[in-house]
Every structure is written in structure tokens, then in C-alpha cells.
């Protein structure tokens, strides 16, 4: 209660400061300026991606100014400006703009890290985890998880009443298995993950969590002064789990091709060093545990949401569902019992369906970057140091200029004939783009495709009456865990 009172006091102080100082910041630069984004979010009922989309649609301008409490913020609409922020002028926009306390072990890592040198070295060393060769070696883990998932659904048909919860069980368990490995010598289901409750509590939007993230975003000095931690209550549990597994696995000789294998290899090589700058970072158990935790918070919820929206749209579009069933069933012709990595890679229609689901419901609906030095964007607008640029992913994905009939679910937008119109032009950003594109995007796609293919081999969907989801108030994502559709067993 004291925490909430303190936060409300801070918000009121920010509001006073805003009206005295920042309400005309962008107008003075001849830029259209609207109200404060965070106040609209805190006292409203919509997610920030929805609020930003409304602003995007209301103004026919290349950019729109606003504030996030004390911080001037510019929403970008021009693909050229967006490309400059995400790729062309990355040195000026490498920070996500969410400041984590140095003692916040699980937040001050690859996801929110603002120290460029530290970010760069960790990114370099972890990128090999997601090469095609590594994913192919890891495929047996995801395939086993997908089979366990189907068995779990067969034994718990009531899970169809809350499909998101069941999908969340799969994504959390499969990430846990990919991080910590599985014991192929036992019959234990991978769906019995000890990390399920932790992941659910960590990522479920709550007033306290929104307040802490908001303070980290717009009141970094107060956030640091109070020594707040975004994920502090899970630190001991998760770091302890990683340390225990690392200790046990150091005595093993068998390769499991999971994230722990990568961690052990990094520690054997000694200090991680950037050859260009000489910067060094020790791959301690704590540093590596933070990276493992990152995979959970970056992947469990977003992948479950992507599967959720894909299945919802398939229930709304029975012809598309039938076509997808036909593609999946071909894999099992001749009596095949399991899928291979190559089988999944060949499912081109599943690719299109997934791409369209992420177009209509991007996992992250808004991306922000903090400017580290005064600079100018291609459109000519000046971005001053410590200002924030906002990239309205959800709004871009629903812009009829780029996607005709944007509310229609049409996988053929991503056919070879049409794909060039939407790919690589910075108006399709389900995983971001540029140097800070989601490092796990290839793993996430594979995880989701394997899960959907296994589920739709055994189950189909009851036709829905064009159900439209309602999104939870969330700072960045598009989340709708209560959306309803029904799956049923297939006769195969």
C-alpha cells in the first residue's frame, strides 16, 4: 500500500513537472504534440500499443511528439526513420531506454542492458546458440516437448476451456527443456516443468509490475534510489537452479545440445573478450543465469500469445485451417510417427500462417529506443540526447497503406509473389530489426511451428464466429489470455 501511495505521489509530481516544462517540447520544434503516454496508460484500460495505434491513426504526419512523464518521446511513422533508429544509426539508439539497477541481476542483462560494450560481448557469444546447426541439434528436445504436449492435451481435454494456459504450459516447458536439457532415459513428461509457476507469475501483468517498469522507464533516478528490482523475487530461485545444473553437468561427458552446454563451453574458454576494444567480461554462473532467465521472459509469454492468436484466427477461418491440416498430414503419410527438422522447414503454408498471425498480432506491439547523443533522422527531425523514439509496430502492421484490408487474416500476403512487398522494409517487425533484433527469433519460430504442427495433427478447431480478442493493459505486448475458442480431437 505504501508503495502505491509513493507511486501516485511521484506520478502527480511528474504531471506538475510536465505541465510546467514538457507540454510544449515538440511544439517548439514545429512537431505535432499530444498528451502524456504514461498517464494515459496508467489511468486508462488499454495497452500502450493500442494507445499508440490510436495516435498513429489520428495524425497524418511522419512523426508525432508526446512525453513519457519527464522524457520527450517521438513516435515514428516513416520506414526510413525507423530503419535509421534500428539499424543505420544504431550507435545513437542502442539502448532500450529501460534502466535496470546494477544489483538487479535478472533485469540488467541482455534484455534491458544499456552498457553497450557489455551488451555487445554477450550478444556476440550467445548468437551461435541460434544457428541452423545448433537448432537442428536441439530439435529432438522440441519434438519431444511437442509430443508430450499433445499427450497432456489428450489427458486434459478440459484445457480447451482456457487454451492460453495450455499453450503457456508448452512454451514454458519447451524453453525450460531447451535451457536445461531433458533426460531421454526416463518417461517423465517435459510438461511437468518446475519453472511454469515462476514464468507465469513473472510475466502476468500486475499493478505492481506495471508500476515498477513504468518507474524504471520514466523515473530512473527514483527507481535507482529505491533500489527496486523488476524480477527480484525470482532471483534466488532461478540463479540457484542454474548454479545447481551447471555444477552437476560439469562432470558429464555427453553433449545434450542445450543452453547449459553453451554455458559450460563459454566458461571453459575463460573471460569473454571483444577483439576490437579489449573489453572483457567473466562468464560467471550469475551472468549466465541471467541470460537463461532472459529466454524465459522473452519467449514463454510471446510464443504462447503467438500460438494463441494463430489458433484463434484458424478457428475463424475454416478454409485456411483445412489447407494447413493437409500440409501437416502429408508429413505423416506412410505411417511416420514423428516429425523431423526438415519436415518443419518444408511447411511453407504454416510459415505463411504464422507470419500473418504475427503481422496481425505482433508479439511486441511497440518498440522504444533511447537516444544516446544528439542526432538527426532522415526526415530531418532532431532527436536530442536522452529523448526516446517510439516505433509503433502494432499500428504499422495494421496500416492499410502497407497491408490492404489489414483486419483480414490472409496468409497469402506472405506468398513468394507478395512477400517482397512486406519483408525487409521496416514495416514488418514481429521480432524487431537491426542489430538488436530478437536474438532468439529463430528458436521462437521453430518452437511455435513444432507445437502448432503437433497440436493440429491430433486436434482441430471448432469454427468460431469471428471472435475478436480484447487486449490486457500491458506496457509493450499484446496479450489476451482469456480469448476463447475450442479444439477437439481429430479422427486420424
Task: Spell out the per-residue pLDDT of the chain, length 492, in tens.
Answer: 555 555 555 666 555 555 556 778 999 999 999 988 888 887 888 999 999 999 999 999 999 999 987 789 999 999 999 999 999 888 899 888 766 666 666 666 655 567 778 888 888 888 877 888 889 989 999 999 999 999 999 988 777 678 999 999 999 899 888 888 776 556 778 888 777 776 666 666 566 666 666 666 556 666 666 666 666 677 777 788 888 888 888 888 888 888 888 888 888 888 888 888 888 888 888 888 888 887 877 788 899 999 999 999 999 999 999 999 999 999 888 777 889 999 999 999 999 999 999 999 999 999 999 999 999 999 999 999 999 999 999 999 999 999 999 999 999 999 877 755 565 589 999 999 988 888 889 999 999 999 999 999 999 999 998 889 999 988 888 999 999 899 999 987
pLDDT for res 125: 80
Secondary structure letter of residue 64 according to DSSP:
E
Fold of 2-489: Cytochrome p450 (1.10.630)
Indicate whether this model's pTM tops 0.85.
yes
pLDDT at 403 (0 to 100): 95
Residue 95 to residue 99: CA distance in whole angstroms: 9
Exposed/middle/buried for residue 389 (C-beta within 10 Å: 0-12, 13-18, 19+): buried
Q: What angle do the packed helices 163-180 and 441-458 form, to 10 degrees?
A: 130
Domain ranges for the chain, please list them: 2-489
Task: Give the Cα separation of 25 and 32 in Å (integer).
Answer: 10
pLDDT at 310: 98
Main-chain phi, psi angles of 67, to 5 degrees: -130, 155
Residues 408 and 307: their CA atoms lie apart, in Å, by 18
Query: What does 420-482 look like in DSSP terms, one character per residue?
Result: GGTTTSSS--BTB-GGGS-TTHHHHHHHHHHHHHHHHHHEEEPPPS---------SSB---TT
Q: Return the CA Rg of the chain.
A: 23
The pLDDT assigned to 349 comes to 97
Give residues with Cβ within 8 angstroms of 446, minimum separation 6: 135, 139, 142, 344
Confidence (pLDDT) at 59: 96
d(CA 302, CA 304): 5
Using an 8 Å Cβ cutoff, are 242 and 289 in contact?
yes
Q: What angle do CA 55, 56, 57 make, to 5 degrees?
A: 90
pLDDT at 474: 86
Residue 101: per-residue pLDDT: 61
DSSP string, 194-257: TTHHHHHHHHS--HHHHHHHHHHHH-HHHHHHTT--SSGGGHHHHHHHHHHHHHHHTT--S---
What is the predicted pLDDT for the residue at 216? 63
Q: What pLDDT, on a 0 to 100 scale, did the predictor assign at position 105?
A: 62
Amino acid at each position: 500500500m505504501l508503495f502505491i501511495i509513493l507511486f501516485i505521489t511521484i506520478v502527480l509530481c511528474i504531471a506538475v513537472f510536465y505541465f510546467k516544462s514538457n507540454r510544449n517540447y515538440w511544439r517548439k520544434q514545429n512537431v505535432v504534440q499530444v498528451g502524456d503516454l504514461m498517464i494515459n496508460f496508467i489511468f486508462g484500460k488499454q495497452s500502450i500499443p493500442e494507445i499508440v495505434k490510436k495516435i498513429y491513426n489520428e495524425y497524418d504526419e511522419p512523426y508525432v511528439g508526446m512525453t513519457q512523464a519527464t522524457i520527450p518521446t517521438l513516435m515514428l511513422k516513416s520506414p526510413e526513420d525507423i530503419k535509421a533508429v534500428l539499424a543505420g544509426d544504431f550507435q545513437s539508439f542502442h539502448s532500450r531506454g529501460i534502466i535496470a539497477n546494477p544489483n538487479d541481476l535478472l533485469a540488467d542483462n541482455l534484455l534491458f542492458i544499456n552498457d553497450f560494450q557489455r551488451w555487445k560481448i554477450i550478444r556476440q557469444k550467445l548468437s551461435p546458440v541460434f544457428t541452423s546447426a545448433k537448432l537442428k541439434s536441439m530439435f529432438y528436445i522440441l519434438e519431444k516437448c511437442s509430443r508430450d504436449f499433445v499427450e497432456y492435451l489428450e489427458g486434459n481435454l478440459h484445457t480447451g476451456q482456457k487454451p492460453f494456459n495450455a499453450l503457456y504450459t508448452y512454451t514454458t516447458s519447451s524453453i525450460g527443456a531447451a535451457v536445461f536439457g531433458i533426460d531421454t532415459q526416463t518417461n517423465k513428461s517435459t510438461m511437468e516443468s518446475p519453472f511454469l509457476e515462476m514464468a507465469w507469475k513473472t510475466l502476468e501483468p500486475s499493478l505492481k509490475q506495471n508500476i515498477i517498469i513504468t518507474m524504471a522507464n520514466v523515473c530512473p533516478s527514483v527507481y535507482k534510489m529505491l533500489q527496486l528490482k523488476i524480477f527480484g523475487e525470482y532471483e534466488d530461485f532461478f540463479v540457484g537452479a542454474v548454479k545447481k545444473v551447471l555444477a552437476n553437468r560439469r562432470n558429464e561427458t555427453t553433449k545434450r545440445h542445450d543452453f547449459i552446454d553453451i554455458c559450460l563451453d563459454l566458461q571453459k574458454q575463460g573471460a569473454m573478450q571483444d577483439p576490437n576494444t579489449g573489453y572483457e567480461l567473466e562468464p560467471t554462473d550469475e551472468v549466465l543465469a541471467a541470460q537463461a532467465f532472459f529466454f524465459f521472459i522473452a519467449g514463454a509469454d510471446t510464443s504462447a500469445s503467438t500460438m494463441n492468436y494463430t489458433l484463434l484466427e484458424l478457428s475463424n477461418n475454416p478454409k485456411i485451417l483445412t489447407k494447413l491440416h493437409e500440409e501437416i498430414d502429408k508429413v505423416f503419410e506412410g505411417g511416420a510417427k514423428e516429425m523431423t527438422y526438415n519436415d518443419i522447414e518444408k511447411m511453407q503454408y504454416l510459415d505463411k500462417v504464422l507470419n500473418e498471425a504475427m503481422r496481425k498480432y505482433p508479439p511486441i506491439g511497440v518498440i522504444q529506443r533511447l537516444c544516446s547523443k544528439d542526432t538527426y533522422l532522415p526526415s530531418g527531425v532532431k532527436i536530442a540526447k536522452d529523448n526516446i523514439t517510439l516505433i509503433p509496430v502494432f499500428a504499422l502492421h495494421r496500416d492499410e497503406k502497407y497491408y490492404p484490408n489489414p483486419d483480414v487474416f490472409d496468409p497469402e500476403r506472405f506468398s513468394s509473389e507478395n512477400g517482397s512487398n512486406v519483408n525487409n522494409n521496416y514495416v514488418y517487425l514481429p521480432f524487431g530489426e537491426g542489430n538488436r533484433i530478437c536474438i532468439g527469433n529463430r528458436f521462437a519460430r521453430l518452437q511455435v511451428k513444432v507445437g502448432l504442427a503437433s497440436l493440429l495433427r491430433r486436434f482441430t478447431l471448432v469454427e468460431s464466429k469471428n471472435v475478436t480478442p480484447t487486449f490486457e493493459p500491458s506496457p509493450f505486448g499484446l496479450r489476451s489470455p482469456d480469448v476463447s475458442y475450442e479444439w477437439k480431437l481429430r479422427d486420424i
